[in-house]
Amino acid sequence: MANIISHATKNISHSISNSWTSVLYSTLLISGSRLAKTNWEKHFMIWLAEHDQNHVGLGIVGIDFDNIYWSASEFEKQKEFVIGIAQNAINKKSWINLDYKTDEKTIAGLLNLWIDVFSDAQVNDIVPMDNFNWYHKPKPSEIDMKCPIHHIFLNQLGKTEKDCCYLCHDN
């Protein structure tokens, strides 16, 4: 089983194993949680944190451009952020902040696949949506909640803070 990172309408699709998906999302969460400033960016990071195989199941946490809540008026800034978190992760080697060692060449390659999915997207590619497809939409009071250990945004899928941290409950 694997997960797909894609932009289906542009026929861009990358299959990533379950374990490498976890490493990719962990690395993006480390990078993006430091960069997120706007409400949309914070919501995107929380939504990404919800793509947690320990909560929702193996092989079903892929991400497609067409299933992301984009704002047409803010699209260029949003796209820049989504690409930027991967580029920042490569530049800063965010994976060194993981609680385990990973292959630098492989994770850098996966981050470049992420960039590939989003780099050619245009505002007219947006599929209109009212919001992110949440498993558990965060309340306004939860949007700034971060793990005190890993400093990444928390999803709201667990019962404890540790269980809501993509990195903590993986240990």
Q: Are 89 and 30 in contact (CB under 8 A)?
A: yes
- Give, for all 171 residues of the chain, the pLDDT tens digit: 799 999 999 999 999 999 999 999 999 999 999 999 999 999 999 999 999 999 999 999 999 999 999 999 999 999 999 999 999 999 999 999 999 999 999 999 999 999 999 999 999 999 999 999 999 999 999 999 999 999 999 999 999 999 999 999 765
Q: Where are the domains of the chain?
A: 2-170
Alpha helices in the chain (DSSP H): 18-35, 39-49, 53-56, 75-92, 104-119, 161-164
Q: Nearest CA to 17 among 103, 91, 144, 99?
A: 103
Q: Nearest CA to 152 among 137, 139, 170, 134?
A: 170
Question: Please, is 152 exposed, middle or buried when counting C-beta atoms within 10 Å of its C-beta (0-12, 13-18, 19+)?
Answer: buried
pTM across the whole model: 0.96
Report CA-CA distances (Å) from 68 to 1, 75, 165, 167.
23, 11, 21, 23
